[in-house]
Structure 1
Amino acid sequence: MARPKRQNNSPETRQRILEAARIEFAAQGIAAPLEAIAARCDIKRPSLLHHFSSKQELIAAVTDDILRMTRERLLDTISDQNGDYATTMQQIFGVLRQLEQEEKGVAGVLVHAMLAEEAGGPVTTRMEEFIDIIYASSAMAGSQKTQNPEEFRAAIAHLVIGELTREALGSRAKALWGSGDGLTPLFTSYFLDDNSHKKDL
């Protein structure tokens, strides 16, 4: 009788699965089959299920990993800033774009996951926390305009979700938005004074 193969429990294998899942979920949505994810990291479906017992567990692990990276980048960006308010806020809002450039698919996964979950789901809750960090950071950095707090937070949410959607769409974004950038005028309106240099996000 043949001996069963030993499962690979290495952290490297788990990380390869997370990266493969991120790419497949971004391309196909969270309906992407486990077989495709397993094939992308050169393992079989049972080996994948040895690391993640269900697809829901894998989706949760992928989104948690993305949001952990996003939060870490955001906090690092905030703590490293010594420049003026406009520069600080532009770099804060650039976190998602930078992360997408380095870790392809993060924006698409977050958009798909938020659309698929019920109200008050974990991904949406974590995104709310992300928006709250930016809101608190803008207050500490010293907003150059007096804003209604609720309206100000809504503008931040609009910018964050707009940037997330644009990054998720990739080259398809141009077909919807054209070559213009509707986010920059809103950013300028809320975060820069009338004499500040207008710089695209």
Structure 2
Amino acid sequence: MFTEQHSEALAVWAFRTGVWDYLVLPLADTGINEVVTSIEAAAEVGFSQRPQFNKSAHVMLPEEVRFRRSPENEKLLRPAISYLEGHFREKVTEERLAALCKINVTQFSRTFRQTFDVTFQEYLVRFRLNESARLLRNPGASIADVAYLVGFNDPSYYARAFKKYFGVTPSRYRQCLKNDRASMVQDHQVLRSA
């Protein structure tokens, strides 16, 4: 199960209903590799041997995660999200996005918060940080260059925001990626020699 919204109640519900893996997005490369390995192992063992959830029992999704984004709001904000994803490197203002949606700034701000559960500015920063994490996989790009490429004008602010969002500094994140790659290469070599 993949989810962007994590809660203990949702995790308990997922495992009680027979979910095999519970993954919160965004997912690191190691998480993706674990999922692939898990699926391969399941295929070898055979899904028929896995105990199945009793489908006659009615288990409700936890109340705290039973939300639906308003399709009208998503449709209304679609031009703004589209523009933001294409121009996130530039200075993006609420005024510009509100104008694209043909609504005033106050209405845009309120609708955005209701729809995505974060402010426009938080959404933009998270989008930039996720893009920067992707770019950090290239060992040839400096961290300052990555910061500027995704729209941060201050590398030290970028590093603080990155640490707040991911829990590690950009340099530590890159080091973890390097260690994971080395570990995967080493594991692959061990498997080939066996």
TM-score greater than 0.5 by the shorter chain: no
Q: Which has the larger radius of gyration?
A: 2
Higher helix share: 1
Q: State TM-score, norm by structure 2.
A: 0.35
